[in-house]
Structure 1
Amino acid sequence: MSLKTLAPQVLTSSTLRNTVRLWHLLGRRLGGKTATLHAFLEPGEPYSELLIQALPRLQETYGLDVVRHCVGAPERSAAPEPEMLANWSSLDAEALAHAHGLAGVKGVVSDIGGEAQAGADLRRKLGHYASGMIWFEGEWYWGVDRLVHLERRLGAVPRQALFEPPAETGARTGGSFEMFFSLRSPYSYIALMRVFDLARRWGAEIKLRPVLPMVMRALPVPREKRFYIVRDCAREAERFGLEFGNICDPLGKGVENGLAILVDEINAGRGEVFVQSFMRGVWSEGLDASRPARFYKICKRAGIDWKHAEAVIATQDWREVVETNRQDMFAGGHWGVPSFRVGTRMCFGQDRLWQVGEWLAEEAGQEPA
């Protein structure tokens, strides 16, 4: 095992996570302190406004002290498309409010109190960059989407946080949708390892639309953001029963190899098998997709002839395809991955697959499950 793969395994280890939790728990109890939740909230920011509504229930249910910290907007390096983010988050928060039984947030600007710079300084010291975040004893939780992890940690059976397609009832929505994703995105990995099965439950077709990773599009990703993402993905992968953490970052040649083969396989109607083989290889098996011997293993598992793969890799035909995909994604008002489009409507995030299902049902004239 190389240092390249060992570091992510340590960072995403459930053993490390549980050790940190135990350390904080023992320190609190030995000090005779009350469990304290710190919420970092940006006035008027939709996800913060939703989280504000959820805090009283957490405080009452779990006997927590809740400290609110006012913060400003994230730096541009952490949110590279602020205008798109503002437009999307307003729409997304309304859908989340409905799904979680909360009030809408359009036009709401809460009086959080406190000085934004002090809140931002504490947030940075504790290792984060975003608004609408909870810090609880060494661990970060984003908005109402990640309360499922916090509540499980607090020892309760949380309310259902996601709305999955109705496999038990056998309801099928039909239709089709597009998925924009990156081979370097761990959230794309989590979505891609689930979405084909969910689509079969919906009876829907998927059009795969790969794009270049942000870093390969000259968009920097801050260190705090990278660390939070892999840790958050470890929790999400664990929740869905997916292996994750033995990572070999495919940035550069690995991504290029993968995109060349993937575009060719999509054109042949075989994208699912290869993309899952690739994503499993780099996100849970530590396979270096830039090295022929490792990439051969990824291709072989997907049933791809190696001589054919070598010929495809030598071409650059895929570049125009992925750039067209990126332009199409941006034209739809989205910049990040994974994003999904049903008809003319788009949503963003591996935790919005429930919304894809609802939209497919609406397109089919059904009542959402």
Structure 2
Amino acid sequence: MKEALQKNIQPYVARMISSMTVLKMKRHAHEFKRRLLLQPHKVEIYLRINDPYSYLLVQVLAELEQRFAVAMSFKTIEKLQDEMYPEGEMWHANAFIDAQHLADLYQLHWPSQSPKQVSVRVRQGSRLLLQIEDRSKVTNGSYWSDVECIFKQYWFQLPLDEIQKGLERSAWEGRLLANERTLADKGHYMSAMMFYGGEWYWGLDRLDHLESRLNYLGLGDDQLPFNKTYNQLCHSRPLTASDSRHKKLTLYFSIRSPYSHLGLQQAIKMAKHYRLKLDIKPVLPMVMRGLSVPKRKKMYIFHDTKREAQKLGIDYGFVADPLGEGVNRCYSLFKYAQNLGCEQEYLLTY
């Protein structure tokens, strides 16, 4: 009885907590608290030396600092939370490829091959970042060029700078652990994350959300240069009939994934524009494959999907969790819908 009631009210609760009204109330509360405590506008950034998205991000931070009237600082982390990355090696391999596309899109530096994950270089790079982190707390002026230099040395497999003496191993390991604990305590698990006013913004992909918020507060130049991942979608010329005849766009789709819901609609749009066949391949949700999705990760994904949907003009928020029988029922009818040629409509309305 209780479980049935929870499932019935879940969509209404999800819609309420992800509504623009609640978001505006949260933002007003953070801004009121900031003014009451006479604090400056501050963006806190979490960087990891062997994270592809961190390297991309540090290449634009100096520009960001010039464009917005905000104080920016960073914290160095090194270890990932295992429960958040059940397939760590696979994630890193895919992240390198994804970062290559982003680097091309924004004309940023990027190596032709991924550096080997040598623990000695990772530790040395992390300690060098900690040194800059310490220096930034006691000196004025921008230090992002120094941070970018360390990342470039690591990613292009160049000799790393010498580490200054004076900080014992136990001390810098404790500093890294403290930074990682702060990240977790504030509600996140990834690097290349920016924290401002109670909300998280991930790397270049979500930088436009931070730009929009700071512009709204009158802190910036009213520009959104980091919107190319969606602003230029389907702007290039469609393929000719002969070019597209034997090509297809493959989408691996999970009915439980919020990102799959948005991805399906974007994939349909791309397939139509480029005259491609859209091949949808259903996959089981992570939980049904024995992989964990902690609540902290699930809630971030939910709220992140909401703002991405808002940006793309997609209705999202009134959702229920189909885990278990809901997933099985959906997939058991997928082949039937596919044979009727209506698999896209079926998944969009499930």
Pick the TM interval, shorter chain: 0.7 to 0.9
| Alignment partners' CA distance in 1, 2:266 and 2:104 | 24
SS in 1 for 2:83: coil
**Runs of 4+ more than 4 Å apart:** 105-110, 169-173
Amino acid at match of 2:223: V
State the match for 2:307 in structure 1: 235
Aligned to 1:157: 223
Query: Residue 46 of structure 1 corresponds to which residue in structure 2?
Result: 52
Deviations 1:78-101 (A, max 9, x none): 111111112121222122111112
C-alpha contact 2:49 2:55 (8 A) present in aligned 1: yes
Corresponding position of 1:112: 129
How far did residue 189 of structure 1 move? 0.2
List gaps (5 residues or longer) in structure 2: 116-121, 134-174, 216-221
Judging changes above 3 Å, is the alpha-carbon distance between structure 1 residues 208 and 130 closer, same or farther for their aligned structure 2 residues?
A: same
Q: Which residue matches 1:294?
A: none
Query: Contact 2:249 / 2:271 at 8 angstroms: preserved in 1?
Result: no
In structure 2, the residue matched to 1:277 is 349
- Kindly report which structure 2 residues correspond to 1:1-369, keeping only aligned pairs within 5 A, or say none: 2-104=8-110, 106-107=114-115, 109=125, 111-113=128-130, 115-155=175-215, 156-159=222-225, 160-162=227-229, 163-166=232-235, 174=244, 175-278=247-350
Greater shift, 268-277 or 181-190, is seen at 268-277
Q: How many angstroms does 1:171 deviate by?
A: 5.7
Per the TM alignment, residue 170 of structure 1 is displaced from its structure 2 partner at its CA by 5.4
Q: Post-superposition shift, 1:131?
A: 1.2
Secondary structure, aligned partner of 1:258 = helix
Distance 1:101 1:29 in 2: 38
Q: In structure 1, how many angstroms separate the alpha carbons of the residues matched to 2:203 and 2:19?
A: 23
Q: Deviations over 1:130-182 (max 9, x none)?
A: 11111111000111100011101111231133130127x55656221211110
* Contact residue 24 and residue 137 of structure 1 kept, 8 A: yes
Cα separation, 1, equivalents of 2:337 and 2:15: 30
1:255-284: CA deviation from partner (whole Å, max 9, x where unpaired): 111111112222443311211111xxxxxx
Please give the alpha-carbon distance, in whole angstroms, between the structure 2 residues aligned to 1:15 and 1:161.
Answer: 28
Listed one character per residue, the Cα deviations across residues 9-59 of structure 1 (whole Å, up to 9, x for unaligned) are: 233122222222222222223333221101111112111111111221221
Distance of 1:273 and 1:8 partners within structure 2: 23
Residues 6 and 246 in structure 1, CA contact (< 8 A), matched pair in contact too: yes
CA distance in 2, matches of 1:47, 1:94: 10
Letter aligned with residue 144 of structure 1: L
Q: Answer yes or no: is the 8 Å Cα contact 1:70–1:116 preserved in 2.
A: yes
In 2, Cα distance between equivalents of 1:241 and 1:247: 17
| Cα pair 1:5 1:248 within 8 Å, conserved | yes
C-alpha displacement of 1:127: 0.5
Q: Secondary structure at the residue paired with 1:112? A: helix
1:123 Cα shift? 0.7
If the length of structure 1 is used for normalisation, what is the TM-score?
Answer: 0.71
Whole-angstrom CA distance in 1 between matches of 2:64 and 2:291: 37
> SS state of the match for residue 80, structure 1?
coil
Q: Secondary structure at the match of 2:188?
A: coil
Q: Which has the higher contact order (CA 8 A, sep 6+)?
A: 2
Q: Answer whether contact 1:148 1:161 (CA < 8 A) is retained.
A: no
Q: Distance in 2 between matches of 1:88 and 1:170?
A: 27
Cα distance in 2 between the residues matched to 1:171 and 1:267: 26
| SS of equivalent residue, structure 2 residue 228 | coil
SS of the residue corresponding to residue 129 of structure 1 reads: coil
**Partners of 2:52 and 2:99 within 8 A in 1:** yes
Measured in 2, the distance between the counterparts of 1:67 and 1:170 equals: 43
Tell me the distance in 2 between the aligned counterparts of 1:81 and 1:104: 24
Deviations for 1:178-226, whole angstroms, at most 9, x for unmatched residues? 1111000010001112321221111111111001111111111011100
TM-score, structure 2 normalization = 0.74
Percentage of matched positions with identical amino acids? 30
In structure 1, the residue matched to 2:171 is none
Q: Which amino acid aligns with 2:342?
A: R
Query: In the aligned structure 2, how far is the partner of 1:251 from the partner of 1:210?
Result: 14
